[in-house]
Amino acid sequence: MGEYLKQYGFETKAQAIEQGFLREPNEGLYEWYDPELGLKDLVTRSVERQGEGMSPRQKKTLAMRTDKIIKNYMERPDKALDPKSLRYNLIGEVRAFESLGTLLFSGVASIPELAVAFVRAKGELNLRGFASALFNNVQDFSELREFAEAMGTVDRNIADVMLTEMYTPYASEIGRGRFFRRALPYLFRYNMNEPLVNYTRMVSTQVAVQFISQSSVKAGEGSKRHERYLEELGLDQAVVRRWLSDATFKGTKESLTQGGMGQHALDAEHVRDGINRFVNESVLRPSVAERPTWANHPLGTFIFHLKTFAYSFNKNVLGGLAREVAARHKENPTAAAAIADNAALLAPGLLLFMLFGAMSDELRNRIKSFGAEGSYEANDEDWTDMVAKWADRTGLFTSAPFFDPIYDTVTGDPSASSFAFGMGPTTSHLYDLFGDGEGISGDEALKSLPLLRQIPALRGEGRVKETGPERWMYSNMVRVQERKPERRQQAPYTARVIGVLDGDTVEISLPDGGTERVRLFGIDTAESSQPGGDAAGAALKAMILGKNVAIHSYGKERHGRNLARILLGGKDINAEMLRTGHAWYTHTYADEMPAGLRTIYAEAANRVKGENKGVWADEYAINPQDWRAIMSKYKRGQ
């Protein structure tokens, strides 16, 4: 061990632990730091050493507890990259800077995680009981916070814990960085991430106590399912029954926090372990135990950066649900009974996820627009798009970007930008900056900065309040931008089309998790209330909805939308809308278009007009700009 640590400049094990390079192991698990031992070997040795005289069932429980302890504490050092090196520090700084830009709304985004505790209770708690737990933790906050701290489920410095577990085993003074890493705890604290995570853990603690108590009672009545629930938490029915008896006289808090070596104290320790396991499976917290081994390497974390959240969610929440559904399928006598049983399990949880997803999306849009725009307005007053966005905010589809490069390859459209997009927001953003060969434009540099990256109103985009300091800030930002040449083509970037609002406006998903409205440059299509409007929207949807496209931006138009050409596999979608007769060539901003592009669009429009295709088949077709003017006068009563 000594030689192993000396490779990293440590003279003693104590020094390595003090610097954060190692963690002090639990008693009896000293082999955990041996790099040659596998997890199964460690579990086997622990059971052999401590399991003498135990029954097979007790040994199984011990093996489960040992496995969990090792996974939580086994942060093995990596030989491949010296944590003292400049390269390690630079990687940490880049990841931290990207976190500052990407995780601005991590507090708001964490709201749907409140539903996970309800889902983890596997139907043992109804919606009314869960709502009661939510309100009780607000009403009796101080008392219940103290109880959760005594259980070990809440940490007063959760931001530091998240930072450490997010950035490999070396996340201490060594390799911690000198600038951006130090700002992250403040971000987690002041964007409400830390308070919300702790509140969620408090709620989960209360739910865990109820879940264990009810499972013990029903297991005592002969329910095999509830025996399984206790075993999954490493608990034995007899232990929980003795604790419940003790809690009847002493109270829940006193019975669980008692110390000593007596039977009651040992039972309380087992139940506390079960509560902690329940909470850790209910509240997402980035951890080295929740990602593949290769991702613990500093270079691996660079690729895996910010995916730990999605990986943990898929493994614990969606994976746990899948395992429960499979278990219930086996337990039920018929397929129909299994379907009904699983529907009763999943439906309330999905409803709760959607409710919290809606809250998260509404708050996010209000913050981004300084209160002027909620979910309904942000989705162009389209209920379908709004509900789809709520579903996206739940986190249930968080792994979707992973499959983008696979889908594009299968469909014959592989690209480096698609693979960068699938690898995560950090790699995708860096590819857009350095990998496309176009250099870094001023707009790209502006959008790389924290706050400006996630709040369009600070960049002078989108809607804002018409009065107050927000309007003053917006006006001045616009005034600054107007001094810049906006119609010069900026560096292309890759994005996924997540919504088609009409025939000339789409919504795209950016690699950093944000969204943006894009207005197709050079064309105009019929309004939804105008003949041909629905057909134009349907045509655009068929071409690009759900696909990764290249965005060639020419700056912003007066409504704050991004004016851009959209290319799919090298095909100009703007020109394609003209060629198919679904769009007019608009002269708005035409003088600011590149001459070659202006010629291509004008010729395409004239050709299809001469062929009487699309909108030109109707001799009474009205230009959308004239239609809008007519409708505006009509609404004013003129």
Alpha helices in 51-179 (DSSP H): 56-73, 86-102, 106-109, 114-120, 127-139, 141-151, 158-166
pLDDT number for residue 270? 87
pLDDT of residue 122 exceeding 80: yes
Gap between the Cα atoms of 80 and 298, Å rounded? 9
Whether the pLDDT of residue 3 is over 60: the answer is no
Residue extent(s) of CATH 2.40.50.90 domains in the chain:
493-635
Q: What angle do CA 534, 536, 537 make, to 5 degrees?
A: 65
Q: Which helix (H) or strand (E) holds 584?
A: strand 584-585
Q: How many CA atoms lie within 13 A of 85 on its CB side?
A: 12
Q: What residue type is 585 in one-letter code?
A: Y
Phi, psi for residue 520 in degrees, rounded to 5: -65, 120
Polymer length of the chain = 638
515-533 average pLDDT score: 86
CA distance 316 to 125: 19
- The pLDDT value recorded for residue 567 is 92
Percent pLDDT > 90 in the chain is 15
* pLDDT at residue 587, as a whole number: 61
Per-residue b/e over 90-103, b at no fewer than 16 CB within 10 Å? ebbbbbbbbbbbbb
Alpha carbons 421 and 496: distance in angstroms, whole number: 9
The per-residue pLDDT for 225 is 92
What confidence category does residue 393 fall into, taking pLDDT thresholds of 50, 70 and 90? Answer: confident
Which tokens in the block code for residue 339?
């379907």
Closest among 47, 84, 287 to 174, alpha carbons compared: 84
Q: Identify the pLDDT of residue 257.
A: 79
What angle do the packed helices 141-151 and 263-280 form, to 10 degrees?
110
- Computed over its alpha carbons, how large is the radius of gyration of the chain? 29
β-sheet bridge partners, residue 508: 497, 516
What average pLDDT does the chain have? 76
Contact indicator for 69, 29 with CB cutoff of 8 Å: yes
Residue 169 has pLDDT above 60, yes or no: no
The pair of three-digit structure tokens given for residue 133, joined into one six-digit string? 């737990």
Architecture (CATH level 2) of domain 493-635: Beta Barrel (2.40)
Distance of alpha carbon 209 from alpha carbon 574, whole angstroms: 59
Each residue of 444-489: pLDDT tens digit?
Answer: 777 788 877 777 766 665 544 444 444 434 444 443 344 334 456 7
Residue 452 φ/ψ, nearest 5 degrees: -65, -30
- What letter represents residue 622's amino acid? I
pLDDT at residue 195 above 90? no
- Model confidence pLDDT, tens digit, residues 555-602: 877 777 888 899 998 889 999 999 998 888 876 666 677 767 878 888
Q: Residue 633 pLDDT > 90, yes or no?
A: no
User: Within 10 A of 140 (CB to CB), how many other CB atoms are there?
Assistant: 14
CA angle 122, 127, 131 (to 5 degrees): 120
The crossing angle, in degrees rounded to 10, of helices 193-220 and 141-151 is 70
Task: Name the pTM for this structure.
Answer: 0.62
**377 in Cβ contact with 463 (< 8 Å):** yes
Long-range contacts of the stretch 298-302 (C-beta < 8 A, 24+) = 298/78, 298/80, 298/81, 298/83, 298/88, 298/91, 298/92, 298/168, 298/170, 298/175, 299/80, 299/81, 299/91, 301/91, 301/95, 301/167, 301/168, 302/91, 302/94, 302/95, 302/426
